[in-house]
């Protein structure tokens, strides 16, 4: 498998035409939309993520907040349909305030209020919206965008939604998608059951088409050697705010940078609760999937902010770049809770000005 396994095209529609920029561009005029292609080679497992999100359907500001809800004061009230239907998940991303960059699943709504999953996809303990020192406040801005499922990303086996991967009557004869759904637990594997005509979890009978692929999570796609190489093509927007990543005390979280551009380690900012150290045994660690060698490379940050790759404690690795969509894992050494459960970078690794 190639190390740089995806290409990225950014296309921004302007009144005068279309502006194209490669992922390596440091500055863009506004929040761009574009396309990412993931090659899926025969006989390989590709670790992937979703660095692009679907277009927003609503942007507004908070008028009131509780432990797990936010309300808006729009008139007329804007949410005229369900934002929590199983086949069509929606997410909130905060664009300002203490929780800027946090992405939360909508679990219910009224016409002016949305209820959010404050467990962040079961990563650690719930962190409430009104957590002291980390709370959402009236006036904080946010957006709502549609999420993705197994069927929306990989197809539902219909004419309107053809399969990207090969299904079969059993998991042994199928390409598979494995989702990292819990901290310190094995990935959960799914395949398209051609007899049932839907996605199923391996070893479990039942329609899994609506299984959510979270915007910040990681997954693995295995293409059987008997199936020809193919590609997964995704469309969407880059993030307009720095990505906030939830971590767990003494636990390993599978995630990604969430950026649709190469990010050198030197540009990574994890915030004040990122633990640096003089060795891999004393620092928080970032492991990056190495596609060409088929394993994760583990890095840690020295107190002087430079990076090292275990076990080499001498060579500065700060120029190593993480490609868009590359899966990472983060291991947090110290006990964290509340707002300290999030790595909070100060800014994007690129400019939108």
For residues 305 and 303, give the distance between their C-alpha atoms in angstroms, rounded to a whole number.
Answer: 5
Residue 32: what pLDDT? 67
Higher pLDDT, 237 or 22: 237
pLDDT above 60 (res 335):
yes
- How confident is residue 287, by pLDDT bands cut at 50, 70 and 90? very high
For residues 294 and 288, give the distance between their C-alpha atoms in angstroms, rounded to a whole number.
Answer: 11
Residues 6 or more apart whose CB falls under 8 angstroms from that of 78 comprise 58, 60, 72, 111, 112
Of 62-71, 227-236, 283-292, 337-346, the range with the lowest mean pLDDT is 337-346
Neighbours of 66 (CB within 10 A): 14
> Residue 157 gets which letter from DSSP?
S
Length of the chain: 353
For residues 2 and 63, give the distance between their C-alpha atoms in angstroms, rounded to a whole number.
Answer: 48
For residues 226 and 209, give the distance between their C-alpha atoms in angstroms, rounded to a whole number.
Answer: 24
pLDDT above 60 (res 1):
no
- How confident is residue 7, by pLDDT bands cut at 50, 70 and 90? very low
pLDDT above 70 (res 5):
no
Residues 6 or more apart whose CB falls under 8 angstroms from that of 281 comprise none
- How confident is residue 2, by pLDDT bands cut at 50, 70 and 90? very low
* Region 336-351 average pLDDT: 86
* Region 254-281 average pLDDT: 92
For residues 247 and 245, give the distance between their C-alpha atoms in angstroms, rounded to a whole number.
Answer: 6
Proportion of the chain above pLDDT 70, given as a percent: 91
Tokens encoding 17: 């035409």
Residue 31: what pLDDT? 64
Tokens encoding 34: 């574009």
* Region 186-205 average pLDDT: 97
> Residue 53 gets which letter from DSSP?
B
Contact of 289 with 299, CB cutoff 8 Å? no
Tokens encoding 168: 């079969």
For residues 186 and 330, give the distance between their C-alpha atoms in angstroms, rounded to a whole number.
Answer: 16
Contact of 300 with 279, CB cutoff 8 Å? yes
Residue 317's nearest CA partner among 298, 289, 293, 292 is 298
Residue 56's nearest CA partner among 84, 82, 90 is 90
* Region 331-343 average pLDDT: 90
Residue 220's nearest CA partner among 38, 30, 24, 353 is 38
Contact of 50 with 148, CB cutoff 8 Å? yes
- How confident is residue 171, by pLDDT bands cut at 50, 70 and 90? very high
- How confident is residue 15, by pLDDT bands cut at 50, 70 and 90? very low
In which region does residue 84 sit, left (phi positive, over 0), alpha (psi from -120 to 50) or beta (all else)? alpha
């Amino acid at each position: 498998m190639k190390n740089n396994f995806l290409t990225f095209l950014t296309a921004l529609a302007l009144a005068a035409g279309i502006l194209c920029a490669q992922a390596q561009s440091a500055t863009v005029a506004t929040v761009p939309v574009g396309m990412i292609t993931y090659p899926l080679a025969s006989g390989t497992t590709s670790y992937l993520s979703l660095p692009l999100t679907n277009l927003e359907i609503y942007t507004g500001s908070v008028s009131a907040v509780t432990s797990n809800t936010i309300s808006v004061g729009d008139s007329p009230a804007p949410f005229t349909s369900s934002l929590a239907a199983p086949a069509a998940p929606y997410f909130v991303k905060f664009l300002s305030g203490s929780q800027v960059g946090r992405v939360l699943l909508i679990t219910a709504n009224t016409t002016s209020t949305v209820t959010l999953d404050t467990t962040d996809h079961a990563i650690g303990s719930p962190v409430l919206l009104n957590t002291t020192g980390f709370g959402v406040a009236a006036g904080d801005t946010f957006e709502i965008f549609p999420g993705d499922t197994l069927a929306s990303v990989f197809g539902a086996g219909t004419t309107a939604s053809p399969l990207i991967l090969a299904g079969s009557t059993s998991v042994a004869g199928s390409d598979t998608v494995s989702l990292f759904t819990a901290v310190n637990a094995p990935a959960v594997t799914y395949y398209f059951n051609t007899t049932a005509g839907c996605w199923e979890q391996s070893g479990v009978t039942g329609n899994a088409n609506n299984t959510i692929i979270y915007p910040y999570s990681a997954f693995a796609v295995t293409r059987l050697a008997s199936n020809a190489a193919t590609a997964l093509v995704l469309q969407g927007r880059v993030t307009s705010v720095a990505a906030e990543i939830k971590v767990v005390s003494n636990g390993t979280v599978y995630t990604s940078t969430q950026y649709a551009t190469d990010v050198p380690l030197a540009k990574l900012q994890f915030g004040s609760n990122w633990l640096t150290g003089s060795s891999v045994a004393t620092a928080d660690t970032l492991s990056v999937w190495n596609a060409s060698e088929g394993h994760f490379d583990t890095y840690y940050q020295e107190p002087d902010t430079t990076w090292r790759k275990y076990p080499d404690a001498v060579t500065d690795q700060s120029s190593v770049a993480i490609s868009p969509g590359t899966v990472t894992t983060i291991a947090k050494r110290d006990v964290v809770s509340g707002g300290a459960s999030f790595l909070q970078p100060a800014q994007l690794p690129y400019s939108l000005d």
